[in-house]
């Protein structure tokens, strides 16, 4: 059985970033990376691909060109974690061993949790920015929309990029407004009780959605799609917890699907009751096995699942794991940082940055509740460059966020 000093399961943003940082900080380690896909996607750009302002081809690159030199690529999928024997079972029938395991297999789109959805995706007005196979159909339907009822859905948390379901609603609304479209009835239906999980930004987004005349529906979870009738059915949770169902007709339906870890993660000894890899939310180490670490979408940290979170988690995890390998105390702590560039129009973005507890932590001394053109440039130009050329290559970011003692005036209590 082949064995590595460090085995990384998952070659997405988390896996490749962590591998690159490890190679820079401890090049003597043998590192294996388990990843079946030959194509790597910059998924944060799919919202603007669906909005018609970013080429899909710029979001994809060959995985082979991103894996750091010196890292062994095991081009197959993991099928089981075996932490009791420090091994991982692979889809090709082999097993691979490790001294340290970093598990970051990502999460999956659970299309089948919405009855009738899978069969209609990409046709008859039903689209989603959450898949490489469907994101281009979003723009096709938005561009070809001639009026009628447009529904945009958001599933229960957790799921990737909690702002994405409403970003596409704003891009579509702005596009249709600029075209002078009058016969447009837009609805945003979310399984959550507010527009955003951080109250500071939820209040600001209430104003954004109102400015477009989009009708918000809270505690509405999409459960079924009838393509023949063009109807979407939602489970509605009342304030007293009682559940009922309602059906709405649509001409365009953008679906953000429910998500969860892959089955082999849910069934593994690493998982908590919810199916996520159980880690200490500050150190990123498994709560069950001392030589196992996890980051990214599949781990249990209660932060927003974004690439920005991975960017902060990866160097902290690496520093803590290397310290543990050297018999030292783990020196770093992850504070739950995440960033969500909330695209509010064709040309403006609200830059939401926050940590555990919903505390707002802006990098720049500008009111983060105000949509700005500079953050549009960051979203469309700056962040893709930083992702491909800095983050995935393991370079350090300079963290210039100001401390609690220097909080900006607009964040002070009124």
- State how beta strands 87-90 and 184-190 pair: unpaired
Between CA 355 and CA 296 the distance in angstroms is 15
Residues 96 and 113 in one domain: no
User: Which of the residues in the chain have pLDDT under 70?
Assistant: 397-414
Q: Is residue 333 part of a domain?
A: no
pLDDT value at position 405? 36
Q: Among 104, 127, 161, 299, which one carries the catalytic annotation?
A: 161
Residues 42 and 142 in one domain: no
Q: Is residue 275 part of a domain?
A: yes
Residues 286 and 249 in one domain: no
Between CA 206 and CA 256 the distance in angstroms is 20
pLDDT value at position 398? 57
Q: Is residue 186 part of a domain?
A: yes
Work out the mean pLDDT of the chain and round it to a whole number.
Answer: 94
Question: What does pTM read for this prediction?
Answer: 0.93
Between CA 110 and CA 159 the distance in angstroms is 11
Residues 185 and 113 in one domain: yes
Residues 250 and 367 in one domain: no
Q: Is residue 331 part of a domain?
A: no
CATH code of residue 191? 3.50.50.60
Give the three-state DSSP class for 111: helix
Q: Is residue 83 part of a domain?
A: yes
Between CA 370 and CA 364 the distance in angstroms is 12
Tokens representing residue 225 in the block = 């799609």
User: Which helix or strand (DSSP H or E) is residue 234 part of?
Assistant: strand 231-237
Number of folded domains that form the chain: 3
Residues 252 and 265 in one domain: no
Residues 154 and 68 in one domain: no
Q: Is residue 332 part of a domain?
A: no
Q: Please, which residues have CB within 8 angstroms of residue 34's CB and are 6 or more apart in sequence? A: 7, 8, 9, 10, 11, 74, 76, 77, 78, 88, 90, 96
Last residue of a domain, one of 259, 293, 316: 259
Burial code of 79-104, b = ≥16 C-beta within 10 A, e = fewer?
eebebeebbbbbeeeeebbbebbbbb
340 classed as catalytic:
yes
Q: Is residue 279 part of a domain?
A: yes
Residues 15 and 67 in one domain: yes
Chain position carrying tokens 């849910």 = 266
pLDDT value at position 304? 92
Residues 22 and 50 in one domain: yes
Last residue of a domain, one of 259, 290, 307: 259
Last residue of a domain, one of 241, 259, 277: 259
Residues 253 and 120 in one domain: yes
Burial code of 340-354, b = ≥16 C-beta within 10 A, e = fewer?
bbbbbbbebbbbbbb
Domain coverage including residue 406: 339-411
162 touches 197 (CB < 8 A) = yes
161 classed as catalytic:
yes
How many helices, marked H, and strands, marked E, lie in the chain?
A: 9, 22
Q: Among 127, 184, 299, 340, which one carries the catalytic annotation?
A: 340
Between CA 250 and CA 193 the distance in angstroms is 23
| CA 379-221-370 angle, 5° bins | 30
Dihedral pair phi/psi, residue 254, rounded to 5°: -100, 125
Q: Is residue 330 part of a domain?
A: no
Residues 239 and 286 in one domain: no
How far, rounded to the nearest angstrom, does the alpha carbon of residue 13 sit from its chain's CA centroid? 10
Residues 244 and 114 in one domain: yes
Burial class of residue 326, CB neighbours in 10 A (0-12, 13-18, 19+): exposed
Q: What residue spans of 26-111 are helical by DSSP H?
A: 46-50
């Amino acid at each position: 059985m082949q064995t590595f000093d460090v085995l990384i399961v998952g070659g997405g943003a988390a896996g490749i970033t962590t591998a690159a940082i490890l190679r820079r900080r401890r090049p003597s380690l043998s590192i294996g990376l388990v990843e079946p896909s030959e194509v790597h996607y910059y998924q944060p750009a799919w919202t603007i691909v669906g909005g018609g302002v970013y080429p899909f081809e710029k979001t994809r690159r060959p995985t082979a060109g991103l894996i750091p030199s010196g890292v062994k690529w095991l081009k197959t999928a993991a099928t089981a974690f075996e932490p009791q024997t420090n091994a991982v079972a692979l889809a090709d029938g082999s097993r691979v061993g490790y001294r340290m395991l970093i598990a970051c297999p990502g999460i999956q789109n659970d299309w089948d949790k919405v009855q009738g959805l899978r069969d209609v995706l990409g046709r008859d007005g039903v689209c989603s920015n959450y898949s490489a196979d469907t994101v281009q159909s979003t723009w096709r339907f938005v561009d070809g929309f001639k009026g009628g009822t447009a529904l945009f859905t958001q599933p229960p948390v957790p799921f990737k990029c909690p702002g994405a379901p409403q970003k596409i609603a704003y891009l579509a609304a702005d596009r249709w407004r600029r075209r002078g479209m009058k016969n447009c009835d837009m609805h945003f239906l979310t399984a959550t009780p507010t527009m955003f999980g951080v109250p500071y930004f939820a209040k600001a987004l209430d104003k954004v959605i109102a400015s477009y005349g989009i009708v918000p529906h809270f505690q509405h979870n999409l459960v079924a799609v009838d393509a023949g009738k063009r109807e979407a059915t939602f489970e509605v949770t009342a304030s007293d917890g009682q559940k009922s169902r309602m059906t709405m007709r649509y001409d365009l339906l953008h679906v953000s699907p429910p998500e969860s870890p892959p089955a082999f993660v849910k069934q593994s000894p690493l998982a908590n009751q919810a199916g996520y890899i159980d880690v200490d939310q500050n150190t990123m180490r498994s709560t069950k096995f001392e030589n196992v670490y996890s980051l990214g979408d599949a781990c249990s940290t209660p932060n927003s699942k974004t690439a920005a979170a991975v960017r902060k988690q990866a160097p902290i995890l690496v520093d803590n794991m290397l310290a543990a390998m050297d018999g030292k105390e783990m020196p770093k702590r992850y504070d739950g940082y995440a960033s969500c560039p909330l695209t509010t129009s064709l040309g403006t973005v609200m830059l939401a940055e926050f940590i555990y507890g919903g505390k707002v932590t802006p990098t720049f001394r500008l009111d983060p509740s105000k949509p700005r053109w500079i953050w549009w440039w960051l979203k469309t130009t700056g962040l893709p460059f930083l992702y491909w050329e800095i983050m995935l290559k393991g370079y350090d970011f300079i963290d210039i966020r100001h401390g609690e003692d220097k909080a900006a005036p607009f964040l002070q209590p009124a």
